[in-house]
Amino acid sequence: MNKKIFSKNSNLSTYTTIKVGGVAEYFAEPRNTDEFSFLIKWANLNKHKCQIIGAGSNLLINNIFIKGLVICTKKMKTLVIEPYSGIVEAEAGVMLPTLSNSLAKKRLKGGEWAVGIPGTLGGAIYMNAGTGSLSLAKNLISVKVINNKTNEQLEIEKKDIDFEYRFSSFQSNDFAIISAKLHFEPNGNLEQLIQTTKNNLKLKTETQPYHLPSFGSVFKNPENNYAAKLIDDMGLKGFKIGGAEISTMHSNFIINNSSASSKDIYELITVIQQKILQNKGIYLQPEVRMIGFDYPK
C-alpha cells in the first residue's frame, strides 16, 4: 500500500461542483476497498471523525477547518458489466454518466435517465438520486458497505434498504458504501439506447444551468408542489446574495456566479426558506447535504 495515503490541510472547494468548501484536516482518495477500509480503521483508531464524499455534486461544505478525515471515493471506479446476464458490479466512485453510457454501449436497458446526474454511484445510492419516478433503487440487487463504527464489511440486500424520494436508509445509519451489484435488462437496441441516452443529456443541459457551478436541486419538492414553482412565484429568480444567485434558468438551482462563499449560499438557502414559509406556509427541506454547518445532516 502506498505510504502517503492521505494529505493534510486539503482545500475541498475543488471537490464540490459548486466550487466552495473548507479545509479538511486529513483528506484521502482511496483507489480500492483495501485502502478505503484501512482509512476508516485509521480514523476510528485515532478517534477522528470520518466523512465520505463522492463527486461533491450535492454538497455544501462550510468554508471552515473541517476536523478529522474526509474520504473522496472518486478513484474507486471499477465497473464490470456482464452484457448477457445484465449483471453489473460497480465501485462507489463510478460516475453515473459513465455508468449510463457504458450500459447503453453494452445494450443494457434501464440506465439511460442517469446520464445527466454528475454524481458517483455511492452518492446516488445514498441520496436515492433520480429523475421522475426513476432511480437506481429499481435496478439494485445489493450494496457492499463498511460499518464505520465496527470496521466490519457486509453486503446488504435491497430488501433491507429503505428508499424514498431522495432518501435511503444510508442517511440514517453509519455505513460507507464500497460498491453495488445491479441488474439491467440485456439485449436492448443499441442505436435506440445510445440515442435515448444522448437525448436525456441534451434535455438536462437545455433546462438546467449545467455550464455553471451548482449542486443541482437545492430543495426537495414538497408534496403535490414544486420547489422551483414556489421560488418562482415569490419573484426570487435571479435574486443574489454575494456571489450566490438563484438561477434564471431553473429556480431550484443556486449557482456560484463568481466568487460565492459558503456563507453566501447558506444565507440564500435560509432566505428562500423564510420567504416561502412566511408567504405559503410551506417549509422547503434542503435536498443538498451540508458539512460543517449546525444544520441537521
Ligand X SMILES: Cc1cc2nc3c(=O)[nH]c(=O)nc-3n(C[C@H](O)[C@H](O)[C@H](O)COP(=O)(O)OP(=O)(O)OC[C@H]3O[C@@H](n4cnc5c(N)ncnc54)[C@H](O)[C@@H]3O)c2cc1C
Contacts of 278 by beta carbon, 8 Å cutoff, 6+ apart: none
Site string for ligand X, 61-80 (x = CB under 6 A): ------------x-------
Of the candidate residues 7, 11, 85, 131, the single one contacting ligand X (CB under 6 A): 131
* Pairing, β 244-246 against β 240-241: antiparallel
Cell numbers for 183:
441488474
Tell me whether strands 59-61 and 289-291 are parallel, antiparallel or unpaired.
Answer: parallel
Whole-angstrom distance, CA of residue 57 vs CA of residue 175:
20
Going 207 to 211 to 212 to 216, the CA torsion angle's sign is positive
Using CB atoms within 10 A of its CB, is residue 211 exposed (0-12), middle (13-18) or buried (19+)? exposed
Residue span binding ligand X (CB under 6 A) among the ranges 19-27, 124-132, 190-198, 267-275: 124-132
Decide whether 5 or 167 has the Cβ nearer to ligand X: 167
- Does the footprint of ligand X cover residue 148 (CB under 6 A)? no
Q: Per rule CB under 6 A, is residue 30 in the interface with ligand X?
A: no
Window of 6-14, 26-34, 189-197, 209-217 that interacts with ligand X by CB under 6 A: 209-217
Nearer to ligand X by C-beta: 124 or 230? 124
Check residue 172 and report its DSSP letter: T
Return d(Cα 127, Cα 220) in angstroms, integer: 11
Interface residue with ligand X, options 100, 139, 168, 214 (CB under 6 A) = 214
- CB of residue 147 vs ligand X: minimum separation in angstroms? 12
What is the smallest separation between the CB atom of 178 and ligand X, expressed in angstroms? Answer: 7
- Contact residues: ligand X, CB under 6 A: 17, 52-59, 73, 92, 117-120, 122-124, 126-127, 129-131, 170, 176-177, 208, 210, 214-216, 289
